[in-house]
Amino acid sequence: MNETKTQSPIQTLSIAAMMLALGLFLPFFTGQIPQIGSMLCPMHLPILLCGFLCGWKYGLAVGFILPLLRSVTLGTPPFYTAMAMAFELAAYGFLTGFLYARSRWQCVFALYRCLLLAMLGGRIVWAVARIALSGVSGQAFTWQIFLSGAFLTAIPGIVLQLVFIPAVMVALDRTGLVRFRRKGEAAQTV
């Protein structure tokens, strides 16, 4: 049986800060063509990873801060969009961390289950936030807008998330930086 160490608060904070920085700069690579940037959902990747790696508290906080900080400092996304995204990304970070920590054992199957539930939950939270904001702004938010924004135009980003995040987590498990919890083990991160 291998011994593992728990992640220190400084390590967790450092990883969360790296995910925040990654979320700030990753859209520069896809944002040159706005249609591609919105399709790939570049800010979602670091938040989903943050929830898995740092837990629900950090995932929630970084997810909420990221779009607002990016909007205020870089002007994109527009602040109205950033407000709805703040709730969406906070839900992603919360749900991945919360669900994954409560899985009986952590393996690729549990990772996919938590990832899919978080992606669905975040999109529902985004819709609720958009509905609430539409009452303030007077902009209509219809079922067609929800389906288009949450699923249809985001298909490339959804596929990217379903491929990239498990691949990163498996790679981290193989290097020993993160350990999947097996039956009878507690989940630990070095």
Q: State the amino acid at position 77 in one-letter form.
A: P
pLDDT in tens, 116-131: 999 999 999 988 888 8
Which CATH number is 67's domain given? 1.10.1760.20
**Is residue 185 assigned to a domain?**
no
CB 2 within 8 A of CB 185: no
pLDDT in tens, 63-73: 999 999 999 99
Domains held by the chain: number: 1
**Is residue 97 assigned to a domain?**
yes
**Is residue 113 assigned to a domain?**
yes
pTM: 0.85
pLDDT in tens, 68-96: 999 999 998 889 889 999 999 999 999 99
**Domain span holding position 167:** 9-175
CB 86 within 8 A of CB 131: no
**Is residue 183 assigned to a domain?**
no
**Is residue 182 assigned to a domain?**
no
**Is residue 188 assigned to a domain?**
no
